Amino acid sequence: MTVPRFGLGTFRLKDEVVRQVVRTALELGYRAIDTAQGYENEAEIGEVLQEAGLPREEVFITTKIRPANYRRDLLLSSLQESVDKLRVDQVDLALIHWPVPNGEVKPEEYLSALAEAREQGLTRQIGVSNFNIAGLRQARDILGETPLATNQVEIHPYLQNRKLVEFARQEGLHLTSYMTLAVGKVMGDAVIQGVARAHGATPAQVALAWAMQQGFSVIPSSTRRENLESNLAAQTLALTEEDMARIAALEQGENARIANPESARPVWD
Protein backbone atom coordinates (compact mmCIF):
# COMPACT_ATOMS: atom_id res chain seq x y z
CA MET A 1 0.00 0.00 0.00
CA THR A 2 2.35 2.68 -1.22
CA VAL A 3 2.15 5.79 -3.37
CA PRO A 4 5.27 6.66 -5.40
CA ARG A 5 7.08 9.73 -4.09
CA PHE A 6 7.47 11.16 -7.59
CA GLY A 7 5.15 11.15 -10.57
CA LEU A 8 3.91 13.08 -13.59
CA GLY A 9 0.96 15.43 -13.27
CA THR A 10 -1.24 15.86 -16.34
CA PHE A 11 -3.62 18.66 -15.31
CA ARG A 12 -4.46 20.93 -18.28
CA LEU A 13 -2.65 18.64 -20.74
CA LYS A 14 -4.85 17.38 -23.57
CA ASP A 15 -4.84 15.80 -27.01
CA GLU A 16 -1.46 15.60 -28.73
CA VAL A 17 0.21 17.64 -25.96
CA VAL A 18 -0.56 15.05 -23.28
CA ARG A 19 0.44 12.23 -25.61
CA GLN A 20 3.84 13.79 -26.20
CA VAL A 21 4.41 14.69 -22.56
CA VAL A 22 3.57 11.20 -21.28
CA ARG A 23 5.60 9.61 -24.05
CA THR A 24 8.63 11.75 -23.16
CA ALA A 25 8.18 11.21 -19.43
CA LEU A 26 8.12 7.43 -19.81
CA GLU A 27 11.26 7.60 -21.97
CA LEU A 28 13.00 9.62 -19.23
CA GLY A 29 12.07 7.11 -16.54
CA TYR A 30 8.84 8.39 -15.00
CA ARG A 31 6.83 5.48 -13.67
CA ALA A 32 3.85 7.16 -12.03
CA ILE A 33 1.16 9.14 -13.87
CA ASP A 34 -1.57 11.22 -12.25
CA THR A 35 -4.74 11.99 -14.19
CA ALA A 36 -8.45 12.55 -13.50
CA GLN A 37 -11.78 12.14 -15.19
CA GLY A 38 -12.08 15.90 -15.19
CA TYR A 39 -8.80 16.34 -17.07
CA GLU A 40 -10.36 14.63 -20.10
CA ASN A 41 -7.07 13.00 -21.12
CA GLU A 42 -7.37 9.43 -19.84
CA ALA A 43 -7.87 7.97 -23.33
CA GLU A 44 -4.77 9.68 -24.71
CA ILE A 45 -2.70 8.52 -21.75
CA GLY A 46 -3.99 4.99 -22.29
CA GLU A 47 -2.90 5.11 -25.93
CA VAL A 48 0.64 6.09 -24.95
CA LEU A 49 0.83 3.47 -22.20
CA GLN A 50 -0.18 0.77 -24.64
CA GLU A 51 2.27 2.08 -27.22
CA ALA A 52 5.12 2.12 -24.65
CA GLY A 53 4.61 -1.57 -23.89
CA LEU A 54 5.99 -1.35 -20.35
CA PRO A 55 5.08 -4.14 -17.92
CA ARG A 56 1.86 -3.11 -16.18
CA GLU A 57 3.37 -3.48 -12.73
CA GLU A 58 6.04 -0.89 -13.54
CA VAL A 59 3.66 2.04 -14.03
CA PHE A 60 1.56 3.45 -11.19
CA ILE A 61 -1.65 5.05 -12.47
CA THR A 62 -3.80 7.42 -10.43
CA THR A 63 -7.14 8.83 -11.53
CA LYS A 64 -9.81 10.86 -9.76
CA ILE A 65 -13.59 10.63 -9.80
CA ARG A 66 -15.25 13.84 -10.97
CA PRO A 67 -18.02 15.20 -8.69
CA ALA A 68 -20.71 14.65 -11.35
CA ASN A 69 -20.09 10.90 -10.94
CA TYR A 70 -20.38 10.64 -7.15
CA ARG A 71 -23.66 8.70 -7.09
CA ARG A 72 -22.90 5.05 -6.39
CA ASP A 73 -23.91 3.69 -9.77
CA LEU A 74 -22.21 6.48 -11.68
CA LEU A 75 -19.04 6.22 -9.64
CA LEU A 76 -18.64 2.53 -10.37
CA SER A 77 -19.53 2.80 -14.06
CA SER A 78 -17.39 5.90 -14.60
CA LEU A 79 -14.37 4.29 -12.97
CA GLN A 80 -14.83 1.27 -15.22
CA GLU A 81 -14.87 3.71 -18.14
CA SER A 82 -11.65 5.31 -16.85
CA VAL A 83 -10.02 1.88 -16.59
CA ASP A 84 -11.07 1.12 -20.16
CA LYS A 85 -9.78 4.44 -21.47
CA LEU A 86 -6.44 3.88 -19.74
CA ARG A 87 -6.31 0.41 -21.29
CA VAL A 88 -5.57 -1.40 -18.05
CA ASP A 89 -7.38 -3.98 -15.93
CA GLN A 90 -7.45 -1.66 -12.92
CA VAL A 91 -5.89 1.60 -11.77
CA ASP A 92 -3.46 1.64 -8.88
CA LEU A 93 -5.18 4.49 -7.06
CA ALA A 94 -8.60 6.11 -7.40
CA LEU A 95 -9.35 9.34 -5.56
CA ILE A 96 -12.42 11.40 -4.76
CA HIS A 97 -11.39 14.62 -6.52
CA TRP A 98 -13.20 17.20 -4.35
CA PRO A 99 -15.34 16.74 -1.23
CA VAL A 100 -18.24 18.95 -2.50
CA PRO A 101 -19.57 19.43 1.06
CA ASN A 102 -22.89 20.95 -0.06
CA GLY A 103 -23.52 18.57 -2.94
CA GLU A 104 -26.51 16.33 -3.44
CA VAL A 105 -24.42 13.17 -2.97
CA LYS A 106 -23.14 12.79 0.57
CA PRO A 107 -19.74 11.39 1.62
CA GLU A 108 -21.41 8.26 3.00
CA GLU A 109 -22.49 7.35 -0.53
CA TYR A 110 -19.46 8.26 -2.60
CA LEU A 111 -16.85 7.00 -0.15
CA SER A 112 -18.69 3.71 0.31
CA ALA A 113 -18.96 3.42 -3.48
CA LEU A 114 -15.22 4.05 -3.81
CA ALA A 115 -14.54 1.28 -1.29
CA GLU A 116 -16.86 -0.96 -3.32
CA ALA A 117 -14.85 -0.15 -6.46
CA ARG A 118 -11.76 -1.41 -4.64
CA GLU A 119 -13.55 -4.61 -3.66
CA GLN A 120 -14.59 -5.12 -7.29
CA GLY A 121 -10.99 -4.77 -8.43
CA LEU A 122 -11.38 -1.53 -10.37
CA THR A 123 -8.61 0.01 -8.25
CA ARG A 124 -5.90 -1.36 -6.01
CA GLN A 125 -6.05 1.53 -3.56
CA ILE A 126 -8.40 4.40 -2.76
CA GLY A 127 -7.85 7.90 -1.47
CA VAL A 128 -9.15 11.44 -1.44
CA SER A 129 -8.12 14.85 -2.68
CA ASN A 130 -8.67 18.33 -1.21
CA PHE A 131 -10.11 17.01 2.05
CA ASN A 132 -9.74 19.04 5.24
CA ILE A 133 -9.25 17.56 8.70
CA ALA A 134 -12.99 17.24 9.41
CA GLY A 135 -13.47 15.51 6.06
CA LEU A 136 -10.66 13.08 6.77
CA ARG A 137 -12.14 12.22 10.16
CA GLN A 138 -15.51 11.63 8.54
CA ALA A 139 -13.93 9.48 5.83
CA ARG A 140 -12.21 7.36 8.48
CA ASP A 141 -15.54 6.83 10.24
CA ILE A 142 -17.29 5.89 7.00
CA LEU A 143 -14.58 3.60 5.64
CA GLY A 144 -13.70 1.83 8.87
CA GLU A 145 -10.88 -0.61 8.22
CA THR A 146 -10.55 0.34 4.54
CA PRO A 147 -7.40 2.47 4.38
CA LEU A 148 -6.91 5.75 2.54
CA ALA A 149 -3.68 5.64 0.56
CA THR A 150 -3.30 9.43 0.34
CA ASN A 151 -4.92 12.83 0.53
CA GLN A 152 -3.84 14.88 -2.48
CA VAL A 153 -3.75 18.57 -1.56
CA GLU A 154 -2.24 21.86 -2.63
CA ILE A 155 1.07 22.27 -0.82
CA HIS A 156 3.85 24.62 -1.88
CA PRO A 157 6.27 27.00 -0.14
CA TYR A 158 3.60 29.72 0.10
CA LEU A 159 0.76 27.45 1.27
CA GLN A 160 2.18 24.83 3.60
CA ASN A 161 -1.07 23.48 5.10
CA ARG A 162 0.59 22.99 8.47
CA LYS A 163 -2.51 22.02 10.48
CA LEU A 164 -3.49 19.41 7.91
CA VAL A 165 0.09 18.14 7.66
CA GLU A 166 0.33 17.72 11.43
CA PHE A 167 -3.00 15.88 11.56
CA ALA A 168 -1.95 13.57 8.72
CA ARG A 169 1.30 12.73 10.49
CA GLN A 170 -0.53 11.93 13.70
CA GLU A 171 -2.92 9.67 11.77
CA GLY A 172 -0.22 8.03 9.64
CA LEU A 173 -1.92 9.35 6.50
CA HIS A 174 0.21 9.98 3.44
CA LEU A 175 -0.07 13.32 1.61
CA THR A 176 0.52 14.07 -2.05
CA SER A 177 1.46 17.65 -2.87
CA TYR A 178 0.07 19.19 -6.03
CA MET A 179 0.98 22.61 -7.45
CA THR A 180 4.27 22.21 -5.57
CA LEU A 181 5.83 24.86 -7.83
CA ALA A 182 2.96 27.30 -7.16
CA VAL A 183 2.27 27.48 -10.90
CA GLY A 184 5.82 28.67 -11.52
CA LYS A 185 5.98 31.29 -8.76
CA VAL A 186 8.89 29.50 -7.06
CA MET A 187 11.07 30.10 -10.13
CA GLY A 188 11.31 33.82 -9.38
CA ASP A 189 11.57 33.58 -5.60
CA ALA A 190 14.83 35.08 -4.28
CA VAL A 191 15.07 32.70 -1.31
CA ILE A 192 14.51 29.60 -3.41
CA GLN A 193 16.89 30.89 -6.07
CA GLY A 194 19.55 31.31 -3.37
CA VAL A 195 19.09 27.77 -2.12
CA ALA A 196 19.22 26.53 -5.71
CA ARG A 197 22.51 28.34 -6.40
CA ALA A 198 24.06 26.84 -3.26
CA HIS A 199 23.28 23.35 -4.51
CA GLY A 200 23.84 23.85 -8.22
CA ALA A 201 20.15 23.08 -8.69
CA THR A 202 17.09 24.75 -10.19
CA PRO A 203 14.39 26.50 -8.14
CA ALA A 204 11.92 23.85 -9.29
CA GLN A 205 14.19 21.09 -8.01
CA VAL A 206 14.47 22.87 -4.67
CA ALA A 207 10.71 23.18 -4.22
CA LEU A 208 10.16 19.54 -5.16
CA ALA A 209 12.96 18.35 -2.87
CA TRP A 210 11.52 20.49 -0.05
CA ALA A 211 8.19 18.68 -0.37
CA MET A 212 9.69 15.20 -0.70
CA GLN A 213 11.93 15.70 2.34
CA GLN A 214 8.76 16.23 4.36
CA GLY A 215 7.47 12.87 3.20
CA PHE A 216 5.04 14.12 0.55
CA SER A 217 4.70 12.70 -2.91
CA VAL A 218 4.92 15.21 -5.76
CA ILE A 219 3.40 15.22 -9.25
CA PRO A 220 4.94 18.12 -11.21
CA SER A 221 4.06 18.75 -14.83
CA SER A 222 5.76 20.35 -17.81
CA THR A 223 5.44 20.31 -21.57
CA ARG A 224 9.20 20.71 -22.08
CA ARG A 225 11.53 17.72 -22.15
CA GLU A 226 14.35 19.55 -20.36
CA ASN A 227 12.03 20.49 -17.49
CA LEU A 228 10.64 16.97 -17.22
CA GLU A 229 14.19 15.64 -17.00
CA SER A 230 15.29 18.31 -14.54
CA ASN A 231 12.27 17.75 -12.28
CA LEU A 232 12.99 14.04 -12.18
CA ALA A 233 16.48 14.79 -10.83
CA ALA A 234 14.97 16.55 -7.79
CA GLN A 235 14.76 13.12 -6.16
CA THR A 236 18.51 13.16 -5.54
CA LEU A 237 18.70 16.69 -4.10
CA ALA A 238 19.24 16.83 -0.33
CA LEU A 239 18.46 20.15 1.36
CA THR A 240 19.98 21.19 4.68
CA GLU A 241 17.99 22.01 7.80
CA GLU A 242 18.82 25.66 7.18
CA ASP A 243 17.47 25.40 3.63
CA MET A 244 14.25 23.83 4.89
CA ALA A 245 13.84 26.56 7.53
CA ARG A 246 14.37 29.34 4.99
CA ILE A 247 11.71 27.86 2.72
CA ALA A 248 9.35 27.29 5.66
CA ALA A 249 9.52 31.04 6.35
CA LEU A 250 7.92 31.73 2.95
CA GLU A 251 4.48 30.66 4.21
CA GLN A 252 1.72 33.12 3.23
CA GLY A 253 -1.36 31.19 4.32
CA GLU A 254 -4.72 31.21 2.59
CA ASN A 255 -3.92 34.23 0.45
CA ALA A 256 -1.57 31.98 -1.52
CA ARG A 257 -4.12 29.26 -2.29
CA ILE A 258 -4.48 28.65 -6.03
CA ALA A 259 -7.03 25.83 -6.41
CA ASN A 260 -10.20 26.95 -4.67
CA PRO A 261 -13.46 26.25 -6.58
CA GLU A 262 -16.38 27.68 -4.67
CA SER A 263 -18.77 24.82 -5.46
CA ALA A 264 -16.48 22.00 -4.36
CA ARG A 265 -14.08 23.27 -1.69
CA PRO A 266 -14.30 22.45 2.02
CA VAL A 267 -13.70 24.95 4.82
CA TRP A 268 -9.91 24.95 4.75
CA ASP A 269 -7.98 24.34 7.95
pLDDT tens-digit profile of 21-41?
Answer: 999 999 999 999 999 999 999
User: CA 255, 259, 264 angle in degrees (round to 5)?
Assistant: 115
Which CATH class, in words, describes the domain spanning 8-181? Answer: alpha beta
- 67-80: pLDDT as tens digits: 999 999 999 999 99
What pLDDT shows up at residue 167? Answer: 98
Burial of 251 (0-12, 13-18, 19+ CB in 10 A): middle
- 52-70: pLDDT as tens digits: 999 999 999 999 999 999 9
Question: What gap in Å lies between CA 191 and CA 168, rounded to an integer?
Answer: 27
What pLDDT shows up at residue 1? Answer: 54
Long-range contact set of residues 248-254: C-beta below 8 Å, sequence gap at least 24? 248/160, 249/191, 250/157, 250/158, 250/189, 250/191, 250/192, 251/157, 251/158, 251/159, 251/160, 251/162, 252/158, 252/159, 253/159, 254/159
DSSP state of 89: S
Q: What's the predicted TM-score (pTM) here?
A: 0.96
**DSSP H/E element including 177:** strand 175-178
What pLDDT shows up at residue 263? Answer: 87
**DSSP H/E element including 230:** helix 225-232
Domain segments of the chain: what residues?
A: 8-181
Positions marked active-site: 39
What pLDDT shows up at residue 2? Answer: 87
- Residues of the chain with confidence (pLDDT) below 50: none
Q: Which residues face 156 on adjacent strands?
A: 159
- 126-145: pLDDT as tens digits: 999 999 999 999 999 999 99
Q: Which residues face 218 on adjacent strands?
A: 6, 177
User: CA 202, 168, 71 angle in degrees (round to 5)?
Assistant: 100
Distances (CA, A) of 235 to 212, 222, 256: 8, 16, 25
* H-assigned helices in 40-156: 42-52, 72-85, 107-119, 133-143
